[in-house]
Amino acid sequence: MLRYAKGEALPKAVGEWQSAILFGYLKKYGNLGVATPEEKLCTTLCVVSGEVFCAPNGSTNKFLEAEAACQRIAEAWANIAPPADALL
């Protein structure tokens, strides 16, 4: 995955999280029947620095944390009023 962070190098933690989410997504939804995703093959490339971030050990847990956070946001979304200056 390519990542451009507005002209700044991507922080290591962000790159690893992004790769972990990619790994978890492919593991859960990418049932191609051909191969199993591997953490070290799920990478994020920072376009600015050229650094490559592989999905770290524990990527499945990171993905589950992100998935749970998204679920909580989705459940609360209907009850959150948009800001006064929001363009809808």
Give per-residue pLDDT as tens, 66-82.
999 999 999 999 899 98
Q: What is the pTM of this model?
A: 0.81
CB 49 within 8 A of CB 11: no
Q: How far apart are the C-alpha atoms of 66 and 63, rounded to whole Å?
A: 5
CB 15 within 8 A of CB 46: yes
52: pLDDT strictly greater than 90: yes
